[in-house]
Amino acid sequence: MQLHFGSVPVLVVSSAVAAREIMKTHDLACSSRPKTSIATRLTYNSKDVAFSPYGEYWRQVRSICVLHLLSNKRVQSFRNVREEETALMIEQIKHYSSSSSSSLVNLTDMFVTLTNNIVCRVALGRKYGGTKGGRRFKELLAMLGELLGVFNVGDYIPWLAWMNRINGLDAKVENLFKEMDEFLEGVVEEHVDRRKREGSDSVNLGSESKHDFVDLLLQIQQENTDGSPIHRDTIKALILRLKWPKWVLADRPLGRLAGRPPGRPDESLSTAVVTFVDCDCQLSRWMTPRMFAGTTGKEPIKGRCPLDPLELTGQLDPRQGACPWTRQREVPPGPLQADRLARSLTYSDMFVAGTDTIFTTMEWTMAELLKHPQIMKKLQNDVRKIAKGKLNITEDDLENMYYLKAVIKESLRMHPPAPLLVPRESIQDVKVMDYDIVAGTQVIVNAWAIARDPLSWEDPEEFRPERFLNSSIDFKGHNFEFIPFGAGRRGCPGTLFAMNVDELALASVVHKFNLSLPDGASGEDLDMTEAAGLTIHKKNPLIVIPTPYSC
Q: Is 30 annotated as a binding residue?
A: no
pLDDT at position 66, please? 81
> pLDDT-derived band of residue 311, with 50, 70 and 90 as boundaries?
very low
Predicted confidence (pLDDT) at residue 306 exceeds the cutoff of 50: no
pLDDT at position 485, please? 93
Predicted confidence (pLDDT) at residue 238 exceeds the cutoff of 80: no
Tens-place pLDDT, residues 91-115 = 999 998 887 666 899 999 999 889 8
Tens-place pLDDT, residues 266-305 = 332 222 222 222 233 332 222 222 322 333 333 333 333 3
Identify the residue with better confidence: 105 or 537.
105
Q: Report the DSSP beta bridge partners of residue 280.
A: 315
Decide: 55 and 332 in contact? Cβ < 8 Å: yes
Cα–Cα dist 412/163, whole Å: 39
pLDDT at position 263, please? 30
Average pLDDT over residues 404-412: 98
Q: Report the DSSP beta bridge partners of residue 126.
A: none
Decide: 523 and 82 in contact? Cβ < 8 Å: no
Those residues whose C-beta lies under 8 Å from the C-beta of residue 168, and which sit 6 or more positions away, are: none
Q: What is the DSSP secondary-structure string of 304-373? A: EE--TTEEEEEEEETTPPP-------PPPP-SPPGGGGGGTSETHHHHHHHHHHHHHHHHHHHHHHHH-H
DSSP single-letter state for residue 158: G
pLDDT at position 494, please? 86
Which of the residue ranges 59-68, 133-142, 344-353 has the most confident prediction, judged by mean pLDDT? 59-68
pLDDT at position 354, please? 54
Average pLDDT over residues 77-95: 94
Which of the residue ranges 86-90, 192-196, 264-268 has the most confident prediction, judged by mean pLDDT? 86-90
Phi-psi region of 188 (alpha: psi -120 to 50; beta: other; left: phi over 0): alpha
Those residues whose C-beta lies under 8 Å from the C-beta of residue 48, and which sit 6 or more positions away, are: 61, 237, 238, 240, 241, 344, 345, 346, 348, 349, 352
Which of the residue ranges 222-236, 318-332, 533-547 has the most confident prediction, judged by mean pLDDT? 533-547
H or E segment and range at residue 20: helix 16-20
Q: What is the 3-state secondary structure (H, E, C) of 231-300?
A: CHHHHHHHHHCEEHHHCCCCCCHHHHCCCCCCCCHHHCHHHHHCCCCEEEEEEEEECCCCCCEECCCCCC
Domain boundaries, the chain: 2-252+338-548
Pairing relationship of beta strands 8-13 and 2-5 according to DSSP bridges: antiparallel
Identify the residue with better confidence: 175 or 65.
175
Average pLDDT over residues 354-366: 86
Angle at 487 between CA 481 and CA 490, to 5 degrees: 150
Phi-psi region of 470 (alpha: psi -120 to 50; beta: other; left: phi over 0): left
Predicted confidence (pLDDT) at residue 242 exceeds the cutoff of 70: no
pLDDT at position 356, please? 72
pLDDT at position 317, please? 32
What pTM, to 2 d.p., does this model score?
Answer: 0.74
Taken as a whole, the chain contains a residue count of: 551
> pLDDT-derived band of residue 346, with 50, 70 and 90 as boundaries?
very low
pLDDT at position 131, please? 61
Percent of the chain with pLDDT over 90: 39
Predicted confidence (pLDDT) at residue 315 exceeds the cutoff of 50: no
Cα–Cα dist 304/283, whole Å: 15
Q: Report the DSSP beta bridge partners of residue 209.
A: none
pLDDT at position 548, please? 92
Kindly report the CATH class assigned to 2-252+338-548: mainly alpha
Predicted confidence (pLDDT) at residue 369 exceeds the cutoff of 90: yes
Tens-place pLDDT, residues 11-55 = 999 999 999 999 999 999 999 999 888 888 888 888 778 888 898
Cα–Cα dist 136/350, whole Å: 18
- Smallest Cα–Cα separation from 186: which of 228, 225, 128? 128
b/e 94-126 (16+ beta carbons within 10 angstroms → b): eeebeeeeeeebebbebbbbbbbbbbbbbbbbe
Predicted confidence (pLDDT) at residue 432 exceeds the cutoff of 60: yes
HSE of 188, CA atoms in CB hemisphere, 13 A: 25
pLDDT at position 143, please? 77
Decide: 121 and 113 in contact? Cβ < 8 Å: no
pLDDT at position 180, please? 85
DSSP single-letter state for residue 518: G
Identify the residue with better confidence: 58 or 146.
58
Predicted confidence (pLDDT) at residue 82 exceeds the cutoff of 80: yes
Amino acid in position 354: G
Phi-psi region of 527 (alpha: psi -120 to 50; beta: other; left: phi over 0): beta
Q: How high is the mean pLDDT of the chain?
A: 75
Q: What's the alpha-carbon Rg for the chain, to the nearest Å?
A: 23
> pLDDT-derived band of residue 261, with 50, 70 and 90 as boundaries?
very low
Decide: 208 and 76 in contact? Cβ < 8 Å: yes
Percent of the chain with pLDDT over 70: 72
- Smallest Cα–Cα separation from 10: which of 524, 414, 509, 442? 442
> pLDDT-derived band of residue 241, with 50, 70 and 90 as boundaries?
low
pLDDT at position 126, please? 76
Decide: 488 and 477 in contact? Cβ < 8 Å: yes
Peptide bond preceding 423 in cis form (omega within 30 of 0):
no
Predicted confidence (pLDDT) at residue 408 exceeds the cutoff of 90: yes
Following CA atoms 155, 156, 159, 161 in sequence, which dihedral angle do they give, to the nearest 10 degrees? -30
Identify the residue with better confidence: 230 or 363.
363
Cα–Cα dist 32/426, whole Å: 6
DSSP single-letter state for residue 489: G
- For 42, 278, 437, the CA distances from 25, given in Å and listed in that order, are 32, 21, 14
3 state SS of 125: coil
